[in-house]
């Protein structure tokens, strides 16, 4: 299969649970990661839906250490290590590489807007050379709707020319299929692994030779997403895709991170799963009730969700 070389599959930017005091809940985090691994989902911890940019470097390092101590295999981990401050990115990336993680997912430095490809190239080059470890595998994180700092096709070519093998792939969260398709056509032949940023694009990505998806709703709907990845060449693949689209659309009618946490709180019976870190806020009760009613009507369920409770 064209997408079988290198890292592939379904990854989830793992939600970070917090306690009532706003501290990361390590116990819930480990349980959630184990639950996801039980359904063959890779762990893109410290991604957008992890509230990663609301976490300190030290908090991320402690959570990563807790996963490793709990026996989660490093080959399933693709931590988000991008940061506006290059020294922070180097420190966290080095931690991930030394732990044996399969790769790292790296945002561009996103505070300054309108920066040039030259500036972004210097950032990624500085990260690679600062870590200085041949085991490093970087997956670029292209998310212009949020970061407002795009990673251009030309920049990817330049990075692949300079750092072949180390610059291993991309998560395309542009929401623009034309861009994902261009990455597949232009870069995948060079061994570059293209992941869709949502399961909505999973089937198209696989049919185009892509690697899979790294998707928010992998946190709450992992089984059906993984099933499509495993059976994308079957006759019912389009029907499976339509089912994924339906569930995704329900969550997208609400602020995604609080909505997914509300769903886990409902399914697990653990109300503390609702907590988010400022500036995010929890769903209002009326919103959470409406979300859960919609999900229940659609037949949504999270198998063994009680295991996610603290």
Q: Which residues are annotated as a binding site for pyruvate?
A: 214
The answer to whether 171 touches 140, Cβ cutoff 8 Å, is yes
Catalytic: 60? no
Q: What is the residue-wise DSSP string for 33-58?
A: HHHHHTTT-EE--SSGGGTGGGS-HH
The answer to whether 80 touches 113, Cβ cutoff 8 Å, is no
Task: Record the tokens describing residue 88, joined without a space.
Answer: 């922070």
- Which of 31, 60, 141, 261 is labelled catalytic? 141
Which region, left, alpha or beta, applies to residue 220 given φ > 0 means left and ψ of -120 to 50 means alpha? Answer: alpha
Task: Record the tokens describing residue 214, joined without a space.
Answer: 């790294």
Strands lying side by side in the sheet with 138-142: 42-43, 9-12, 212-214, 193-196, 167-172, 138-142, 104-106
- Which of 123, 171, 254, 261 is labelled catalytic? 171
Burial class (CB in 10 A: 0-12, 13-18, 19+), 56: exposed
Tell me the backbone φ, ψ of residue 171, rounded to 5 degrees. Answer: -105, 115
Q: Which residues are catalytic?
A: 141, 171
């Amino acid at each position: 299969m064209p997408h079988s070389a290198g890292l592939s599959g379904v990854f989830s930017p793992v939600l970070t649970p917090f306690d009532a005091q706003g501290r990361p809940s390590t116990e819930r985090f480990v349980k959630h990661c184990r639950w996801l691994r039980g359904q063959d989902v890779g762990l893109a911890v410290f991604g957008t839906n992890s509230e990663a940019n609301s976490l300190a470097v030290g908090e991320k390092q402690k959570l990563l250490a807790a996963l490793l101590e709990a026996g989660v295999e490093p080959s399933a981990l693709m931590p988000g290590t991008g940061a506006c401050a290059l020294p922070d990115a180097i420190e966290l990336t080095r931690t991930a590489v030394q732990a044996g993680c399969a790769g790292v997912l790296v945002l561009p430095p996103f505070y300054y807007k309108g920066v040039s490809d030259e500036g972004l190239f210097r950032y990624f080059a500085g990260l690679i050379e600062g870590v200085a470890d041949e085991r490093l595998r970087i997956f670029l994180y292209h998310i212009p709707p949020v970061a407002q700092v795009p990673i251009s096709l030309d920049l990817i070519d330049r990075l692949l020319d300079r750092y072949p093998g180390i610059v291993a792939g991309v998560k395309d969260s542009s929401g623009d299929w034309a861009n994902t398709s261009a990455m597949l056509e232009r870069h995948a032949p060079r061994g570059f692994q293209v992941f869709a940023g949502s399961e909505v694009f999973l089937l198209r990505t696989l049919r185009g030779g892509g690697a899979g998806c790294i998707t928010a709703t992998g946190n709450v709907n992992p089984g059906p997403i993984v099933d499509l990845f495993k059976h994308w060449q079957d006759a019912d693949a389009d029907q499976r895709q339509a089912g994924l689209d339906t569930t995704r659309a329900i969550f997208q009618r609400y602020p995604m991170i609080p909505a997914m946490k509300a769903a886990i709180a409902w399914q697990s019976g653990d109300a503390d799963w609702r907590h988010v870190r400022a500036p995010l806020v929890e769903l209002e009760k009326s919103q959470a009730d409406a979300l859960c009613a919609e999900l229940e009507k659609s037949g949504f369920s999270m198998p063994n969700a009680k295991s996610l409770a603290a």
